[in-house]
Chain A
Amino acid sequence: MRRLLLMVPVLFGVTVIVFLVISLIPGDPAKAILGTFATPENIARVNHDLGLDRALPIQYFIWLGNLLHGDFGRSYILHRPVLDEVLDRLFPTLLLAGAALVLSSAVGLSLGIIAAIRQNGWQDKLITVAVLVGISTPSFWLGILLIFWFGVRLSILPVGGMEEMFGGGGALDIARHLVLPAVALAAVAGAVLVRLTRGSMLEVMRQDYIRTARAKGLSESSVIFKHAFRNALVNVIPIIGLEAGFVLGGAVYIETVFQWPGIGRMLVNAISTRDILLVQGGVLIVAGAYVVINLLTDIAQSVLDPRISRA
């Protein structure tokens, strides 16, 4: 409950920053928001709706009040309320980011453990090189390469065309479309996680309680998984929360490369059409999702670590 309450100031901060960023718009914001629809009547209406004719702090509270009523404004380009559009596209983005996060965590944690327990062995060296390439690869380029090899050369997986999530293809069709983008998105996050898991495992393996576990005569697998990995995970879980942010942001590239119908691609389109309110809505919703994900990782950490009070 205390954690839920702590979310309030963070969400409040998020709205303040989005508001400040949008007020960076040079010139007349109403004109910028309306773009080619900027007739005098429309400008007057937007100015009134958004309270743009008032002082900045008052504008903020009018805007915030609207948000709290679920009014994120209208997209003048798509002719529909921003919130409807964003919510339509939220699921595909969460699906893609979630798949990438699960994939990168699974691969990152297991490779990190292998590298740590085989420190300086060939497995460790191989993984270290792979990690270096992984963190240095631009994900959008990796996406293009995956399209080229798996879609064009081998033609075994679809490379895009996921226009409608529920276009009748069923779960299997969604999964087939999901493979390549999820892999491209997971690569960098996974590589970062391998590094941190390895470092955390090595750190933990030197602790006194590992020696105690060995002094009890426990098997190495029990020492590594029951005693070391759990302690390493306490350090790694906040990083997984952070990776959620990287994955949600990186989804912008991957959705663009793979034509995935999510919020990321919507944002890029909205920026090029100067659909400011749509950008604002999309950023707010994804940032809100990220705050919730961080709350979940906080809870996961406190479940794992009894030293953190479970308030």
Chain B
Amino acid sequence: MTLTSPKIDAKAASPMAAASAAAVVKSGRPSAWRRLTSNSVASFGLALLAIIVLVALCAPILPLADPNITDVAHRLAPPFGAGHLLGTDQVGRDILSRLIWGTRVSLAVGVAAAFMAALIGSAIGLFAAFYGKLADMLLMRGIDMLMAFPYLLLALAIVAALGPGLLNAMVAIIIVNIPFFARAVRGATLAVVRADFMAAARLSGLSDLKIVGSELFPNVLPTIVITLSTTIGWMILETAGLSFLGLGAQPPQADLGGMLGDGRNLIQVAPHVATIPGIVILLLAIGINLVGDGLRDVLDPKLKSGGLARALAKTDAASAEERKRKLAPQAQPSAVQAPLALRSLETHFLVGEEVYRAVGGVDLEVKPGEAVGLVGESGSGKTVTALSILGLVATPPGRIVGGVIAHHGEDLVGAPLARLQAIRGNRIAYVFQDPLTTLNPLIPIGEQIAEGIRRHQGLSRAEAMRRAVALLEAVRIPDAARRAGAYPHELSGGQRQRVGIAMALANDPEIIVADEPTTALDVTTQAQILRLLNELRRERGAALVFISHDVGVIAELCDTVNVMYGGRIVESGPVDVVLGAPRHPYTQRLLACVPELGRAERRIDPIPGLPPPTNALPPGCAFAPRCRLADARCTLGEIELEPVGENHMVRCAHVELTAA
């Protein structure tokens, strides 16, 4: 840790953001301007700035009074009087004229300072990152030292040494702003320098200067623009501030800050003298900030509106009437008594104009104590199906648009948040995929288990913690009482997932939903964790919904299996039947991909092509484009899930051809 802190707008300075920003500019330079102007707030800022700049530029040709002619007889005239639209100051000079001429000075100094700081700072950052090692160390230590000062104080010290004056104030502002550019550009450059195409450029023998000019600079330019947009506003404000203190522009020349300083002591008798220049500074800064925000939105896709939307506490859902429209009477939730039953569940993601049909009508039933498998490639909708059960799909962009989720006859989709919260982690619990990101890094693991126990069982802190320790013992974490105080980063991946399982077991749930619980783990720990999960849930009589892309694991753990493709179930039935004699061409191909231990000579047969994107699903069978049996019938329309054996269902127009 260094003692100095990062730049105030940490997002703009992050190399990641800069790198992604670079990618955007490379691919979409012509549209950047259009995207900026299509943002109404940014266009307002742009218009505001344009007006101010235009008026300032036109000062010499506007019919203005001489800004420096004094007229003591008409001093401190109020605004809107004859001859002086904005009144006069303490020596009778026309405020409107001084304002426009002052804006010119402030703008010129601010913009010049910004570009000089950008030039010098970026050069330092580029140089440090490009040559690395000693140059980097020395330069960046120097920059750190500059940043160890409170921003304005260093500027004051420089002005004190050089003496008051507009030019000296500008030099001071430039120096104190150099570090922001140096740091941001260094970060962005490092990201590029480490990229592959840079290595290629070096290997191809280009000179350093050529590499910097042709490869580096275009890639760090967005970072420079972003930093410029955040600092130029401050630079104008700080220059005005130094003039306000009497350390910048010297009389009779006045910039906006100087005029404000003149008016300061007149606030009781003539408030307009100080108020008016302040309003102009404010408008100028608002314009710059609006344009800057707009620029960052365009150049940094991570910040784009919607990209940073928080998730609501529960997935948004269509009204009950709308969702149940297509349901048969026997599918109504009140008619279902199983612990959990999904009927025609449809969950969509609404991103801009696009609709992604992540889950397109899924039926699933979980009987007491049963282990139900959900298998499919990534993007097949299995995770979204699982998260929909307790309304944990992020909204925006997720929305449950059709179907019901019945829990002992109660429709969970329509349930109020409080009711869902009473079920979450209590009757139905989750084990998530990546235990590193799914555990809170700042809270000890014992507490993360105990808080769920307190919530649902109303136990005291001490009692809940005792239960948590017992659970940690049950998942075989050694020295559980002591480890309860450990933080997630202090545990190994396997131990973290044991904690995840302990959390799911905390309130003896009726159903555990495990979403690829071992995918993020070492192969050697995977088997242990799976055995543990299965053992414990059997002991406690919990049903299991197990999601995996690994057919072998499903075969070992589950009683029934559902194969998903393109957001729908394409085949379902008892595990031994479906995996032993699959009838859907997709299931057949999926099983052909599985390498078998001890049979090295068998060819692994990948499925050609990719699953279709869920915002452009073909009509009929989503697998048709990759299927060897596909013909016109497959794309005509809806294909139903039809029984082909006892409890064995297949969604295929050609079931008669798929029997082994």
- Measured CB to CB, the residues of A under 8 A from B are 3, 6-7, 10, 13-14, 16-18, 21-26, 116-117, 119, 132-133, 135-141, 144-145, 147-148, 152, 192, 196, 199, 201-203, 205-220, 222-223, 226-227, 230-231, 234-235, 238-239, 241-246, 248-250, 252-253, 256-257, 267-268, 270-272, 274, 276, 279-280, 283, 286-287, 290-291, 294-295, 297-298, 302, 304-308
Contacts and interface: CB of A to CB of B under 8 A. Distances in A.
B586 interface: no
Interface stretch (B62-70, B431-439, B613-621): B431-439
Nearest to A213: B440
Nearest to A25: B161
B452 interface: yes
B289 A136 contact: yes
Interface in B226-265: 233, 237, 240-241, 244-247, 257, 260, 263-264
B416 to A, nearest CB: 13
Choose among B11, B424, B442 the residue with the greatest number of A CB atoms under 10 Å from its CB: B442
B181 interface: no
Contacts of B237: 138
Contact of B148 (A14, A207, A307): A14
Given A217-B424, A227-B440, 4 more contacts: A203-B308, A208-B432, A218-B425, A235-B10
Contact of B152 (A231, A252, A295): A252
A212 B260 contact: no
Contact of A271 (B156, B288, B440, B441): B156
Contact of A6 (B3, B274, B426): B3
7 contacts: A3-B3, A6-B2, A13-B141, A144-B275, A239-B8, A252-B152, A283-B156
Nearest to A18: B157
B285 interface: yes
A209 B445 CA distance: 12
A22 B162 CA distance: 9
Interface string B467-490: 000000000000000000001011
B201 interface: no
A148 B278 CA distance: 13
B587 to A, nearest CB: 30
Contact of A211 (B144, B438, B506): B438
B179 to A, nearest CB: 12
B310 A117 contact: yes
A271 B437 contact: no
A116 B312 CA distance: 11
A14 B290 contact: no
A249 B151 contact: yes
A212 B3 contact: no
Contacts of B423: 217
A306 B163 CA distance: 48
A205 B311 contact: yes
Contacts of B260: 138, 140-141, 144
B115 interface: no
Contacts of B200: none
B309 interface: yes
Contacts of B392: 211, 214-215
A75 B452 CA distance: 65
A256 B442 CA distance: 43
Contacts of B5: 238-239, 241-242, 294, 297
A13 to B, nearest CB: 3
Contacts of A138: 237, 240-241, 244, 257, 260, 278, 281-282, 285
Contacts of A290: 148-150
Given A141-B274, A272-B246, A14 B149 contact: yes
A30 to B, nearest CB: 14
Contacts of A214: 313, 392, 424
Contacts of B146: 17
A131 B584 CA distance: 58
Contacts of A308: 1
B654 interface: no
B451 A140 contact: no
B430 interface: yes
Contact of B144 (A10, A253, A304): A10
Nearest to A244: B150
A287 B150 contact: yes
Contact of A13 (B144, B161, B422): B144
